[in-house]
């Protein structure tokens, strides 16, 4: 938690990591996934909430048996939540964990104090 105060002129080791191309690529990969996906599922959820309030006729359309549009869309919210979670897990395993581990381990080799308190 408590790192020594840093001089303004010389960048700290962590700042050098942060400015490295490797880290920039990791950040880009991470944000490139989570920002659009978050925007997507929030809009999809909002659409569902608004349809529930303002489009009762549409939501009442019967599809088969007693299953109507409202129930189908509600269950689709469940399905999309499960799917996005699984998608992110795969993505993180393949695209985020390897570079994050590489950056962390190299930093620890250079400066063992960075390995945690």
Partner 1 sequence: MNILATAATEHRGLTITLFGIFVLATLGITIWAGSQTKDAADFYAGGRGFTGFQNGLAISGDYMSAASFLGIAGAIALFGYDGFLYSIGFLVAWLVALLLVAEPLRNSGRYTMADVLAFRMRQRPVRTAAGISTIVVSIFYLLAQMVGAGSLVALLLGVSGEGAKRWTIVAVGALMVIYVAIGGMKGTTWVQIVKAVLLIAGTALMTVLVLAKYNFNVSALLGAAADASGKGTAFLEPGLKYGATETSKLDFLSLGLALVLGTAGLPHILVRFYTVPTAKAARKSVLWAIGIIGGFYLMTLALGFGAAALVGPKTIKASNPAGNTAAPLLAEYLGGGAGTTGGAILLAVISAVAFATILAVVAGLTLASSASFAHDLYANVIRRGKASEKEEVRSAKLAAIGIGAVAIVLSLFAEKLNTAALVALAFAVAASANLPTLLYSLFWKRFNTAGAVSSVYAGLISSVTLVFFSTVVSGTEKSLFPHADFHWFPLENPGLVSIPIGFLAGWLGTLLAKDKADPAKAAELEVRSLTGLGAH
Residues that bind partner 1 (CB under 8 A): 1-3, 6, 11-12, 14-15, 17-19, 23, 26-27, 30-31, 33-34, 37-38, 41-42, 45-46, 48-50, 52-54, 56, 59-60, 62, 64-68, 70-71, 74, 77-78, 81-82, 84-86, 88-89, 92, 97, 100-101, 103-104, 107-108, 114-117
Instruction: State the nearest-atom distance from the C-beta of 91 to partner 1, in Å.
Output: 10
Q: Strands 62-64 and 67-68: what pairing?
A: antiparallel
What is the secondary structure of 84-97 as a DSSP string?
Answer: HHHHHHHHIIIIIH
- The pair of structure tokens assigned to 71 is 């129930």
């Amino acid at each position: 938690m408590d790192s020594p105060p840093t001089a303004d002129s010389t960048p700290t080791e962590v700042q050098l990591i942060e400015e490295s191309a490797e880290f920039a690529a990791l950040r880009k990969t991470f944000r490139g996934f989570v920002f659009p996906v978050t925007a997507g599922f929030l809009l999809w959820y909002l659409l569902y909430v608004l349809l529930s309030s303002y489009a009762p006729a549409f939501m009442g359309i019967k599809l088969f048996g007693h299953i109507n549009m409202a129930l189908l869309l509600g269950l689709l919210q469940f399905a999309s939540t499960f799917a996005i979670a699984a998608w992110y897990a795969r993505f993180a395993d393949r695209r985020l964990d390897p570079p994050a581990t590489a950056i962390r381990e190299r930093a620890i080799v250079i400066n063992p104090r960075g390995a945690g308190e």
